[in-house]
Structure formats: C-alpha cells, structure tokens
Amino acid sequence: MPTARIAIIGAGLSGLCAAFLLEQKGIKDYVLLEARDSLGGRIASAPATSGAQAFDRVDLGPTWFWPGYQHQLASLVADLGLQSFEQFEVGDTVMERSPQGPPVRMRGYASSPPSMRLVGGMAALTDALHRRLDATRIHTGQAVRRLRSTERHVELVS
C-alpha cells in the first residue's frame, strides 16, 4: 500500500470528484484506492452497438441529472466541457417490466425540471474526471478491508 497524506477510498463519482478537487487546489499528496479493476462505481455506460464510438453509449445505471437542483453537478459538467441534452419525453414509453414478459407500451411522462443526459452516457463524466487526474495516484484492485490507527499515522489494510 502506498504512503500519502490523503487516502480516498472508492473511485466512484464521489472519489473521482474528491481527487479532482484536490488536484485543482494543487494538492498532489493523495491516493485514490478502488477495489475493482475499473473506475466509476455505479456509473456504467455500455456501447450502443458493437464498434460504437465513445459518444454513442447507453447508461445501465445512473442516467439523468437535474441542473435545476443538482447545482454542483451541473457546474462540474460545465467545467469539464461535457455536452448534455434533454431527455426525449414526447409520446409513449416502452417499458420492460420483467425479463419474463414482453415490453409494454405505456403513456410517457414529462419531468419538470427537465431530466438531462450526457452525450456518451454518464461515463463521459467519470472518464473526464479520470483523464484530469494523475494516473500514478490511482490504485485499482485495492479493496480496503481495515483501518489501523497508530500514533503517527493511519494504516489502510487491503
């Protein structure tokens, strides 16, 4: 386990964003420890078709954001120069309610304030944060299992 003044556990959106904020303040003495081999946590955007480009991805988990009340998220999206678009809400919706039954056509609904999506899926956000971090600070495959406090430091055990 590397040594640093600050340890961020988990490289989901929160951890990536925390590391990004440190970097913006010129603080480099940190490590970002992620249990899995990939970054982004619950955010997962899959290619829409085989051979699809990075802008052509479908969200499998978190999909929308609401600038109307997620002000910090909206600023982050703007600061990173990401492209967003309004969720298409006109007409009916096709819903797969269960893997056993066929998809069902039903009346759509409009959300207010509008739900926004990112070009390239939500992973465009975590990818953009990742690109702005010092790669040597990120350690994947490091599941932190225990914290041990000694007189001089805190030890993270994986």
Ligand X SMILES: Cc1cc2nc3c(=O)[nH]c(=O)nc-3n(C[C@H](O)[C@H](O)[C@H](O)COP(=O)(O)OP(=O)(O)OC[C@H]3O[C@@H](n4cnc5c(N)ncnc54)[C@H](O)[C@@H]3O)c2cc1C
Percentages of the chain per state (helix, strand, coil), in multiples of 5? 20, 25, 55
Residue 40 CB, shortest distance to ligand X, in Å, is 7
Which residue spans within 29-132 are E strands per DSSP? 30-33, 45-47, 57-59, 84-86, 92-95, 104-107, 116-118
Q: At 79, is the secondary structure helix, strand, or coil?
A: helix
Q: How far apart are CA 11 and CA 19, in angstroms?
A: 9
Residue 108 CB, shortest distance to ligand X, in Å, is 17
Q: Taking a C-beta distance cutoff of 8 angstroms, is the pair 119, 7 a contact?
A: no
Instruction: Figure out which of the listed residues 1, 14, 27, 87 binds ligand X, where binding follows CB under 6 A.
Output: 14
The answer to whether residue 6 forms part of the interface with ligand X (CB under 6 A) is: no
For the window 32-71, what string marks contact with ligand X as x by the rule CB under 6 A?
-xxxx----xxx-----------------xxxxx------
Q: Which positions from 64 through 103 interact with ligand X, judged by CB under 6 A?
A: 64-65
* # residues near ligand X by CB under 6 A: 21
Question: What residues make contact with ligand X under the rule CB under 6 A?
Answer: 9-15, 33-36, 41-43, 61-65, 143-144
